[in-house]
């Protein structure tokens, strides 16, 4: 792909600004109607999806050059996909989120990535993930759990914890909870201790070659180990495996842990019996929700019908967020005795991003924290005492924002509460 592949998208953008808002039918208040953190924080139209399309067009037309401002425009964006959902309310011929990725990749190719990206991508390239830890450190989370080593044993599923869950000491309990829940339900869980980062972060930063290299390496390892199903509690890894890996190769079933837990509850293999008397509100991670739709292979061309109407031959898959993973986490929460689930105004495909996405947590921490703070205010407005999510980076961003804002809200992964409801997690999540 290249910038020029999005020339028609740019010319067909009508500057309607839908990309700045949540789907209008879902607007419930003045306060929580906005959908794009980037334009909200930075103001100029260029910081919206429509504005970025024009920025690309302006570069293609040689009307402007790559300046520090253009770099800022391209990378101060969570790639959360709200723009994609909102644009596609009315359009079948636009791919704004793909265009935003393309702009980043173009700037990386031109050597104009943000300076802060340098050390991060180096760690990805070294195979130690965005966090730069050693394999030994990466696998400390699994000690004593009794998971199988797929190098020597067979298991139902490969459990992939993800860098953040496995390395952040404050989140290790969650990843351990995930495994304990699965084991309690009789799922045979295996791990591959030597595998590193999923390299999804490289893709989102615009380093496509690094992503491809990492994905191939991972898929080869999985093939060697005979992996058929991967389960991960990390929404970022989930989206990487489900949507991005198939562009490289695959044939692997990918499940978020909550999808599997939902199934286990539905078929009676997992019983949630202990009350968890909390009022919780669930934050839909972008990579599990609107970007969690399955990949559909497509290779085709644009053609016109009825004179000028644009369609694709063969029909192009439509990723608009309608088929994201929204209900499985909610089903699980509803199955927990005495737990009360209340919704934030912006939920499911309209969820406001936690702020961490698009490598913003790494490159632009203040902006990332601001976006998280916005979400904390929305969660607080529900009257919930606990904000739950299903993504490690969301949880980290929220935890820090709550501390900074002195908000009276606890943050947990859904799996923490599930473990508690099984009776194995103690009384306090």
Partner 1 sequence: MTGPVTHVLPRKAYRALEDIVGAEHVSEDPAVLDTYAFQWLAEVVRPRQSPYMPRPAAVVMPASTEEVQAVVKLANTWGLKVKPHSTGWYHWSAPVKDEDPTLQLDLRRMGRLIEIDESNMYAVVEPYAIAAQVQAEALKLGLNLNIPGVGCSSSIVASACAYHGAGPSTYFMGGNAENVLGMEWVTPEGDILRTGSLGSGDGWFCSEGPGPSVRGICRGTLGSRGGLGVYTKCAIKLAPSFGPTTWEVGGTLPAYRLPVAETQRVYTLAVPTWNAWAEIYYKIYDNEIGYIFHRQFNLAGADLAPAFWLMYNDHTKTLSDVPALVDQPQIKELTEEMRISFQIILAGRSQADIELQDKILDAILAEVGGWKVERFCETDMAEFTNMYLQRLGHKHINFVWVGGYIGSWMQFGTPDWVEGYVPIAIAGLERDAKGGLLVQCGGDAMMGSGSGVPGGGATGLEQFVSYDPADLESTKAGIRHMEDAVKDATSHGFPPGKEFIYLQIGWTDEEIWEALRNSRQPVVYDFQRQIKEAFDPNNVGDRMYPTLPAARLAGEHGNGT
Chain residues binding partner 1 by CB under 8 A are 7-8, 11-18, 21, 23-30, 33, 39, 43-46, 50-51, 54-55, 57-59, 61-65, 67, 69-70, 73, 85, 88-94, 304-312, 315-316, 318, 320-323, 349
Closest separation in Å from C-beta 417 to partner 1: 27
Residue 90 CB neighbours (<10 A): 10
Whose tokens are 């393309």? That residue is 102
Asked if 367 and 341 count as a contact pair (C-beta separation under 8 A), the reply is: no
Closest separation in Å from C-beta 83 to partner 1: 13
Nearer to partner 1, 153 or 343 (CB): 343
Cα of first residue to Cα of last residue in the chain, in angstroms, is: 46
Closest separation in Å from C-beta 47 to partner 1: 9
Closest separation in Å from C-beta 22 to partner 1: 9
Nearer to partner 1, 1 or 89 (CB): 89
> How many degrees, rounded to 5, is the angle at CA 342 between CA 172 and CA 379?
65
- Between CA 116 and CA 265 the distance in angstroms is 43
Nearer to partner 1, 183 or 311 (CB): 311
CA max distance for the chain: 66
Nearer to partner 1, 65 or 169 (CB): 65
Nearer to partner 1, 136 or 308 (CB): 308
Closest separation in Å from C-beta 413 to partner 1: 26
- Between CA 216 and CA 203 the distance in angstroms is 13
Closest separation in Å from C-beta 21 to partner 1: 7
Residues sharing a CB contact under 8 Å with residue 264, sequence separation 6 or more, in sequence order:
182, 185, 187, 270
Nearer to partner 1, 295 or 312 (CB): 312
> How much of the chain is in helix, strand and coil states, percent to nearest 5?
45, 10, 45
Whose tokens are 């993930």? That residue is 129
């Amino acid at each position: 792909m290249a910038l020029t592949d999005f020339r028609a998208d740019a010319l067909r953008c009508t500057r309607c600004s839908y990309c700045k808002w949540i789907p209008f039918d879902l607007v419930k208040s003045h306060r929580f109607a906005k959908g794009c953190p980037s334009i909200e924080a930075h103001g100029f139209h260029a910081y919206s999806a429509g504005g970025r399309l024009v920025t690309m067009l302006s570069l293609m037309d040689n009307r402007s050059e790559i300046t520090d401002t253009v770099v800022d425009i391209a990378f101060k964006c969570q790639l959360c996909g709200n723009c994609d959902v909102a644009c596609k309310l009315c359009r079948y011929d636009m791919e704004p989120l793909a265009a935003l990725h393309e702009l980043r990749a173009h700037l990386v190719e031109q050597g104009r990535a943000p300076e802060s990206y340098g050390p991060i991508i180096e760690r990805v390239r070294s195979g130690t993930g965005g966090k730069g830890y050693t394999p030994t450190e990466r696998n400390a989370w699994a000690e004593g759990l009794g998971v199988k080593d797929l190098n020597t044993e067979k298991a139902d599923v490969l459990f992939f914890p993800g860098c953040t869950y496995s390395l952040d000491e404050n989140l290790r309990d969650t990843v351990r909870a995930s495994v304990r829940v699965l084991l309690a339900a009789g799922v045979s869980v295996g791990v591959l201790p030597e595998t590193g980062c999923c390299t999804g972060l490289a893709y989102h930063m615009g380093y496509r070659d690094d992503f491809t290299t990492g994905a191939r390496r991972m898929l080869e390892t999985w093939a060697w180990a005979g992996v058929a199903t991967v389960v991960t509690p990390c929404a970022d890894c989930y989206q990487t495996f489900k949507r991005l890996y198939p562009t490289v190769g695959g044939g692997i079933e990918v499940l978020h842990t909550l999808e599997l837990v939902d199934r286990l509850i539905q078929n009676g293999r997992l019983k949630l019996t202990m009350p968890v008397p909390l009022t919780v509100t669930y934050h839909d991670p972008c990579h599990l929700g609107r970007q969690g739709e399955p990949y559909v292979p497509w290779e085709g061309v644009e053609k016109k019908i009825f004179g000028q109407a644009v369609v694709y031959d063969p029909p192009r898959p439509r990723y608009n967020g309608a088929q994201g993973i929204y209900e499985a986490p909610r089903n699980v929460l509803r199955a927990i005795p005495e737990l009360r689930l209340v919704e934030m105004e912006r939920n499911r495909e309209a969820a406001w991003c936690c702020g961490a996405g698009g490598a913003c947590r790494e490159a632009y921490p203040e902006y990332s924290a601001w976006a998280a703070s916005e979400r904390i205010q929305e969660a607080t407005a529900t009257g919930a005492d606990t904000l739950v999510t299903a993504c490690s980076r969301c949880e980290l961003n929220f935890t820090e924002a709550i501390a900074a804002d002195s908000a009276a809200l606890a943050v947990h992964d859904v799996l923490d509460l599930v473990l508690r409801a099984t009776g194995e997690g103690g009384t306090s999540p």
